[in-house]
Amino acid sequence: MSFRTLIVALTFMAILVMGLRFSVDTDTWWQVRTGELIAQQHAIPTTDSFSFTREGQSWRYPSTAWLIELKLYFIYEWFGAGGLNIWMAAMITLAFAFVYLAMSGGGFLRAFVLVLATAVSGVYWAARPYMATFVLSAIFLWVLEDFRWERKNRLIWLPVLMALWVNSHPGFAMGFILIGIYFVDELVRWLSANWPLKSAKVRKAIRGRLGMLLLAIVVMLVAACLNPAGPAIFQYPFETVSIGVLRDYIQEWQSPNFHQITSQPFIWMLLLTLATLGLASKRIVLSDFLLTGVSIYLTLLAGRNMPLFALVAPIVLTRYAVPVIEEMRKKLKWEDRATSERTSRLQSVLNVLIVLILGAIALVRAWMIYPEAVNEADIALEAPVAAVEYIREHQPTGRLFNSYNWGGYLIWNLRDHPVFVDGRTDLYSDDLLSEWLNTVSAADGWQETLEKWNIGLILIEPSWALAKILPTEGWQLLYEDEHSVLYSKSQ
């Protein structure tokens, strides 16, 4: 095994180990429950059956995520939460494999930048359909980069990938953003070389690279209609981002909190990218500027977009780092012997042993996060596990007003009690989410909301103002622990 191969192997072993962690979050549960519903009914749900506040109303999300929801259900059914952990790690590794193919430079440069990018994206990893957007964004970047720099034309695969994407996650809109960036770059370069315009030049452009990109976009639009909702699915991304409560309350839709250590790698990668661009002797090309600018802009708007920057930055950064490193190498008269010398048999054997050792570490790590008991312990840190057991055992009656954060868990684990709200923000809209937030905050009108929906049970976190005021309003405490409180309406 050569030293170059060793570096590649170590890089992806490291990424795999970083990805091997607990993956079930609050929204994973309703995704798995939806997959179960699809498997049982052999049909994709179009109306809600998990809540009493939106029961029977149109629900579009499964039409654009059913493939991954079905996969999540079968993985969980066959392998448990540990299987979801391993699936997530595999998706992360696959995404960065395509980013690696689109990067420039030698093994050490790619390894360093890619591991840093993995840390950047790690803040929003979870066993949810958006992992499909993470992987497919990476594949799109690889295809479009090869086309942009005239290495290979694989544009024919983009409509096929779009048909897969639109049935895997609503983030399919990112595919159009990415190809749009490269189309603008191609158009501007063509205009600068062919101005003033003449009909012959336009016809030639249509038959050339510009026409190829335009055709790919048109066919992608057709491919995106190949989903259960049809062309109506194009409304979904706009409807979701227009919900104000997303930005006001839900963390992943808010701007990143850079005081948290998990968000710090983004700053490091951003500063490293800016420094590299400043040191580089060549000017940044338009496609690289747009990729970097758009990904930074989207990240600053909503932290959930940070993984996009983690995919884009390595490609742009290494392209401009290569000439900087070469110039420094010439000035210092330094030779990269690690990649220039032949590998001896002994070195090759040692390299294989190193890979085997790290592979064993990865297996141990996978085994550590696979058992059901350790996953249950992790889930219990966030979910109201004991409170749900109490409800199952004692069977208190009444409609349940629940924490937004626990809605998905209750959908999977407490099926006799439809939820008031959960992570399906596209379904509930601003009005109901604002109603929920007003109630848990014990703001004016909270009693009217509970009466309006005929609430008999309340399960929320003890930190909410509502939890503190309920005892003074005649509600009976049924269960309490450090994570949750359960109240019943006094008769």
Cβ(319)–Cβ(104) below 8 Å: yes
Residue 16 to residue 143: CA distance in whole angstroms: 23
Residues in the chain, overall count: 491
Residue 270 to residue 252: CA distance in whole angstroms: 19
CB-based burial label for 355 (10 Å; 0-12, 13-18, 19+): middle
Q: What was the pLDDT predicted at 475?
A: 93
Residue 53 to residue 36: CA distance in whole angstroms: 22
36-42 long-range contacts, CB within 8 A, separation 24+: 36/73, 36/77, 38/62, 38/66, 38/69, 38/70, 38/73, 39/70, 39/73, 39/74
Q: What was the pLDDT predicted at 254?
A: 75
Measuring CA to CA, which residue among 160, 279, 283, 271 is closest to residue 224? 160
The SS3 call for residue 196 is coil
User: Hey, what's the torsion of the CAs at 341, 343, 346, 349, to 10 degrees?
Assistant: 140
Cβ(388)–Cβ(414) below 8 Å: yes
Q: What was the pLDDT predicted at 199?
A: 82
Residue 423 to residue 126: CA distance in whole angstroms: 14
Tokens standing for residue 228: 């259960």
Per residue of the chain (491 residues), what is the pLDDT tens digit?
777 888 888 999 999 999 999 999 989 999 999 999 999 999 999 999 999 999 999 998 899 999 999 999 999 999 999 999 999 999 999 999 999 999 999 889 999 999 999 999 988 889 999 999 999 999 999 999 999 999 999 999 999 999 999 999 999 999 999 999 999 999 999 898 888 877 887 888 788 899 999 999 999 999 999 999 899 888 877 777 666 666 666 667 778 888 888 889 999 999 999 999 999 888 899 999 999 999 999 999 888 889 999 999 999 999 999 988 888 887 777 765 555 556 677 878 887 888 888 889 989 999 999 999 999 999 999 999 999 999 999 999 999 999 999 999 999 999 999 999 998 888 887 788 889 999 999 999 899 999 999 999 999 999 999 999 999 988 999 999 999 999 998 76
From residue 349, give the alpha-carbon distance in Å to each of 5, 107, 338, 352, 356: 13, 19, 16, 5, 11
Residue 461 to residue 217: CA distance in whole angstroms: 47
Q: What was the pLDDT predicted at 242?
A: 66
Residue 269 to residue 315: CA distance in whole angstroms: 12
Q: What was the pLDDT predicted at 182?
A: 97
Cβ(411)–Cβ(50) below 8 Å: yes
pLDDT tens digits, one per residue of 73-114: 999 999 999 999 999 999 999 999 999 999 999 889 999 999
Q: What was the pLDDT predicted at 247?
A: 62
From residue 31, give the alpha-carbon distance in Å to each of 34, 68, 179: 5, 9, 29
Q: Report which secondary-structure segment, H or E, holds 459.
A: strand 455-460
Tokens standing for residue 445: 């009108």
CB-based burial label for 124 (10 Å; 0-12, 13-18, 19+): buried
Q: What was the pLDDT predicted at 342?
A: 66
Q: Within 10 Å of residue 65's Cβ, how many Cβ atoms?
A: 27
